[in-house]
Structure 1
Amino acid sequence: MLDAKVAEAWRVLRIQSELVDGIERLIAFRGAVTVFGSARFSEQSQEYQQGVKLGKLLAAEGIPVITGGGPGLMEACNRGAFDQPGASIGLNIELPFEQVANPYQDVNLHFRYFFVRKFLFVKQALGFVGLPGGFGTLDELFEALTLVQTRKVQHFPIVLVGKRYWSGLYDWLVDTVLERNCIDERDLHLFQVVDTVEEAADLILQHMRGPG
């Protein structure tokens, strides 16, 4: 059995290996859009169909689409992007439940460490889209908001799809977080909430095309 120091050294090497492999595999896919959403929506759900449409709208414009690579809305977006000019990319994570890689991926990476995966979600992205989701989706959303707020990354669009789904979160940010001066009013403009994936895709495309 390895002693603690040796085990930690091997852990550092595994982390380094995941970083190097991920960076090398994704370096060609600049200007990507990262899409988050729950693994728990079925193929028959309206949310799944919207995810397929979003992936297709973006990838048809040559934009690489990055998801967490699992089932549900991640699969939906990869499925829509698959066989389009833009690549369909999945960054999978080892979990005790839910996370089985979906088959609609041109590039498929596997990770043990959440923080390495989260770094690569951001590194190539020029836009984030949040579909309905749980703790993982919220984690990625607030990670992106924090990075933009603190100017650790260049400003990029962060779009949440589904006003009914996200309205409670938005109201809490306004009525409680802003009211208690834990954020500034300008922080509420770091993201937009829309009703449809078509609106989300349009906002992303406008940003990428620039002024005019």
Structure 2
Amino acid sequence: MSTDAEAAGQRRPSTRFRGPLVFRRARRDGSTADRNLLDQRGDSDWVHTDPWRVLRIQAEFVEGFGALAEVPRAVTVFGSARTGAEHPEYQAGLAIGAALAEAGYAVITGGGPGAMAAANRGACEAGGYSIGLGIELPFEQGLNEWVDLGINFRYFFVRKTMFVKYSQAFVCLPGGFGTLDELFEALTLVQTRKVTRFPIVLFGTRFWGGLVDWIRDSLAASGKISPEDLDLLYVTDDVAEVVEIIRTSGGTGNVDALGTEDEW
């Protein structure tokens, strides 16, 4: 029995299979998985292809999940890498890190210098568990010396997942684009109920006041967010209040952005 292609007078396109992939016509690929693995000749550009990056991404998730799986309840503290040790915001980071450790929380930061180092140092000197989740950047130092457990990530989105999944709350010290990125990532996840609600605390009313006013007077006033979304943020200058907000809010973290908690 002739095929439809033969009946139409057409030649069957040349076909080659590689696992689940099908290559036809000019899209054929002459390589094989075994050949790519075993052949040492030629350049190494293949390690920079997107399929190879998927494996790297997978490896980062596995490494992060494995390292953090048994971390006790924790709070992530964000803040500027540019905050000097003499700055009041650094002293606030020290106090917040210590207070969280004394309250029984591990402290997670981005692992860098400045406000992040302050929070790690405060937790470390108070006898708490100090964790740093670093990121590969061309212009920033490695993990600060106060980190007990450190992981360096290539990809921001993998690192963000670790921050949210293993935290019961976020505390944002004054910071730049990176801090704002993490802040609004957390707000979006909580607002859309992709995570079990947990508190997001902005430390420093003078620094954060303008942003909160804009959220209220522009976003909420124009209907871009609901009025109750304003309740997702807490703003304070009191270290003790930071701990009390976290302790009494009942936040559990537990990201659902990649599946339910049971699926983790």
Instruction: Go from structure 1 to structure 2 and tell me whether the alpha carbon gap of 1:131 and 1:6 turns closer, same or farther (over 3 Å shift).
Output: closer
* Separation (CA, whole Å) in 2 of partners of 1:64 and 1:95: 25
Which runs of 5 or more residues in structure 1 are unaligned?
A: none
Checking the alignment, whether the CA contact within 8 Å between 1:92 and 1:108 is kept in structure 2 is: yes
The reply to whether residue 121 of structure 1 matches residue 121 of structure 2 is no
User: Deviation digits for residues 52-93 of structure 1, max 9, x if unmatched?
Assistant: 110000012221110000000000000001154531000000
Q: Which range is displaced more, 106-115 or 172-181?
A: 172-181
Deviation readout 1:74-119 (Å, 9 max, x if unpaired): 0000000115453100000011213431000110100010000000
Aligned residues: 210
Match of 1:87 in 2: 129
Q: Any stretches of 5+ residues in structure 2 without a counterpart?
A: 1-42, 253-264
Q: Which residue of 2 aligns with 1:98?
A: 140
Indicate yes or no: 2:108 matched with 1:71. no
The match for 1:13 is: 55
Q: Which residue of 131, 153, 167 corresponds with 2:173?
A: 131
TM-score (norm 2): 0.76
What's the RMSD between the two structures over aligned residues? 1.8
Which residue of structure 1 lines up, in the alignment, with residue 216 of structure 2?
A: 174
1:55 aligns with 2:94: no
| Equivalent AA in structure 2 for residue 164 of structure 1 | R
Report deviation, 1:131: 0.4
- Is residue 30–residue 125 contact of structure 1 (8 Å, CA) maintained in 2? no
Structure having the higher Rg: 2
CA pair 179-99 structure 1, distance change in 2 beyond 3 A: farther
TM-score by length of 1: 0.93
2:191 maps to what in 1? 149
Task: Name whichever structure is richer in helix by fraction.
Answer: 1
Q: Which has the higher contact order (CA 8 A, sep 6+)?
A: 1
Aligned partner of 2:70 in structure 1 is 28
Secondary structure in structure 1 of the residue aligned to 2:171 = strand
Which 10-residue stretch deviates more, 137-146 or 99-108?
99-108
